[in-house]
Amino acid sequence: MHLLVVGISHHTAPLELRERLDFQARGIDQALHALAQRGSTREAVVLSTCNRAEIYAACDELEAARGDVVAFVSAFNGVPACAVTPHVYEAADLEAARHLFRVAAGLDSLVVGEPQILGQVKAAHTIAAAGQRTGPVLNRLFHASFGVGKRVRTETRLGSGAVSVGFAAVSLARKIFGDLAGRSVLVVGAGEMGKLTARHMKSQGVSHVTIVSRTMAHAARTAEAIGGANVAPWDDLDAAIAGSDIVIAATGAAAPILTKARIEALMRPRRNRALFVIDIAMPRDVEPAAGEIEQVFLYNLDDLQAAVRENLARRATEVALAERIVAEEVEKFGIWVRSRSAIPTVVALRQHFEDIRRTELDRLAFKTASMPPDARARLDEITRLIVEKLLLHPTEQLKLLGDTETVGAYADALTRLFALSERALDAPDAPRDDSRVEPFRPKERGRR
């Protein structure tokens, strides 16, 4: 079975296209169900965030699945294939695993090291697993990615400093206002991104933070989480904007809530007082044309790329350490992948030796019949342990071979040397999830 990832992200697609390929808006469950109906994949996970839309799949026919998944991304979202295909990236097998590990580690994020992505990866897997769209391959892959994310956060300082969109927003605000002490901040929306951005602003000494949301209860909870923030009703949004220096737009609205005309009207009484607007919503909350208004400084998610480059330069050493961790974990995952092709042969070899052991014990049954029951049990145990010890090293080495081609060659040689039958190789009791198969490890026993 092959691994495949197909997607678009901030690296390959403009914000306008990413807004149109939003699986969250149309329902992850529905996307998984629709993809399963096409039949090209056996397992699938859909990861959809502000900056990426990716499908991870386990499939039998790599080329067929690749073309079908690309077509699905286009068809499900109602976007012409000609608009999607030029921006799509693909990776297969261990490169697909490497990509996911880098995503989970925050290495592929808009702001490198941002912590939210690991939770989003976990949530994507949870949805797919709950819908029974995952199996042994993607379960193993995603759980390995969780471990990568944890290692990077505990063994490096990649997660310190400028690690979020909120921090990038603060960096941009400083370029406009200099010191942020005494400035007023308005957060439109009560979601996680707005809350995190407000916390960053508050840490810079801004004098007031106000939360506006369509639901006052949501705004109140966000204000409480921030600490010391005010709450204003949705109907007072214009007045709240008029009294603010910095506006963080982070709602889940389907269309812009702040048009050019609306902001233009609010700017007239400000008398050249600058307004910094950072639109971190997806789809966007602010019409792009609003940035043409004098003294209005509008930035969206794509504008944060400059902050990303600065962040990368400062933390190049930590990035190198994180990449080393990813490489180590890809190698571990590769060992597991290669071991999968050896499992049928390992199971067949064990069964072959067990059949020989049982046949010989049965052949000698007339000689052992006079032995006490505990002696016969001990004989059975001794012969079983001998078989286990004989097979321990060969089976472990077979599962640790360097590439699938070599595994195949060794497996074929063992099949021929021991005349392993096709029936044994296709035995129904052979474990499907070989992540649970452990090599023989004889029990330690004291001497008698």
The answer to whether 231 touches 220, Cβ cutoff 8 Å, is yes
Given a cut of 60, whether residue 422 has pLDDT beyond it is no
237 burial level (CB within 10 Å; 0-12, 13-18, 19+): buried
Q: For residue range 327-386, what is the model confidence (pLDDT) as tens digits? A: 999 999 988 887 776 667 777 888 888 888 999 999 988 888 889 999 989 999 999 999
Residue 102 belongs to a domain with what CATH number? 3.30.460.30
Given a cut of 50, whether residue 15 has pLDDT beyond it is yes
Q: For residue range 151-168, what is the model confidence (pLDDT) as tens digits? A: 999 999 887 655 467 777
Domain that holds residue 432: 334-436
For the chain, the straight-line distance linking the first and the last C-alpha, in angstroms and rounded, comes to: 48
How far, in Å, CA of 341 to CA of 319, rounded? 34
- Same structural domain, 383 and 412: yes
Q: Total domain count for the chain?
A: 3
- Same structural domain, 157 and 184: no
Given a cut of 60, whether residue 426 has pLDDT beyond it is no
Give φ, ψ of 146 to 5 degrees. Answer: -65, -40
Residue 260 belongs to a domain with what CATH number? 3.40.50.720
Can you state the angle between helices 316-363 and 404-417, rounded to 10 degrees? 10
Domain annotation covers residue 69: yes
Q: What is the pLDDT of residue 440?
A: 34
Per-residue confidence band for 307, with pLDDT thresholds at 50, 70 and 90: low
- Same structural domain, 128 and 186: no
Q: For residue range 54-84, what is the model confidence (pLDDT) as tens digits? A: 999 999 999 999 999 999 999 999 999 999 9
Active site residues: 50
DSSP secondary structure string, 236-279? GHHHHHHT-SEEEE----SS-SB-HHHHHHHHGGGSS--EEEEE
Whether the predicted model's global pTM rises above the 0.85 cut: no
